[in-house]
Amino acid sequence: MTSSAPVLIATAVPAERDAVARALPAAAQEVRLPGATLWRTAAGWDLLAAGVGPALAAARTAGALTAAALAGRPYALAVSAGIGGGFPPGAPVGSLVVADVITVADLGAETADGFLPVTELGFGTITHRPPESLVRVVSEATGARTGTILTVSTVTGTAGRAAALRARHPGALAEGMEGFGVAEAAAAHGVPVLEIRAVSNPVGPRDRAAWRIGDALAALTEGFGKLAPALESWNAHDA
C-alpha cells in the first residue's frame, strides 16, 4: 500500500507485531497514541500492539482509527493479525487462516437450553464479514485457508468446549482473542476489516508442550511478505 491509503495492522502482543514488521522492508518510526505506541512505515503500514482480548483491541484500534481520521489520513483497511488456535483437521499447526466471517463466540448468555448469542437476546451484533474480494485475493496470495475465525475472551482448553464451539460454528477454522474487537472499531469508522491468523496450537485440551509459537510467528512473517502486493491489487481494483 502507499502512504495515500494506509493500513492499520493490530496485533495483540509485541512478538506478533515484530513478526509482521520483519516482512516489511521499510524502517518504522514511533507514533505515540493514548495508551499505546504505533509503528509507522513509509510504505503505509501502521503496526499496533493493541493488547490481549477484544475489549482492549477495540479500544486501542478505535484510538488509532480516530487519530488517523483527525490527522486527515484515514485508514483504507484495518487488519487483525496474530497467532491463534486452529480447529483440526482443517487448520493444522503452522498454517494460515484468513477470516471470511469474524464472529464473537462467547458474547451472550448461558441458559438451561444452552448458549444464546447476544443477538438472540435482542441487541448487539456477533458477526462481521470482511470484503469477499479481499479475502479471495489474500487467500490466493498467501495460501491461507478461508473460514470463520472465532473471537473468545477465554482460550479454549478442553475437548468439550472445542466440540461445543464447532457445533455452534461448523465453519470455524480458528480462534483468537482480538478479531471481533478490531472489527467493531473498524465498523464504527466505516473501514473494511480483515483477520489473518497463523496457527500455533490445536483448539482443544490445553497442552503448552504442543504449542509451536515460533513456527506460527514464522508463518505470520512469511504470510505478510506476500500480503503487500495482494493488498495493493485489491485496493486498486476493488476498494
pLDDT at position 235, please? 65
For 107-166, strand residue ranges (E) read 108-111, 114-117, 127-128, 145-151
Q: What is the pTM of this model?
A: 0.94
pLDDT at position 229, please? 78
| d(C-alpha 128, C-alpha 152), whole Å | 14
pLDDT at position 209, please? 83
CB-count burial class (<10 Å; 0-12, 13-18, 19+) for 223: buried
Which segments of the chain have a pLDDT < 70?
1-4, 27, 235-239
DSSP 114-130: EEEEGGGGTS---EE--
Can you count the helices (H) and strands (E) in the chain? 6, 12
pLDDT at position 44, please? 84
pLDDT at position 234, please? 74
Matching residue, cell 470482511: 130
In tens, the pLDDT along 175-198 reads 999 999 999 999 999 999 999 999
CB-count burial class (<10 Å; 0-12, 13-18, 19+) for 56: middle
pLDDT at position 2, please? 43
Q: Hey, what amino acid is at 232? A: E
| d(C-alpha 184, C-alpha 177), whole Å | 13
Closest CA to 81 of 159, 229, 182: 182
pLDDT exceeding 70 applies to what percent of the chain? Answer: 96
| d(C-alpha 171, C-alpha 168), whole Å | 9
pLDDT at position 74, please? 94
- All cell numbers assigned to 19: 513478526
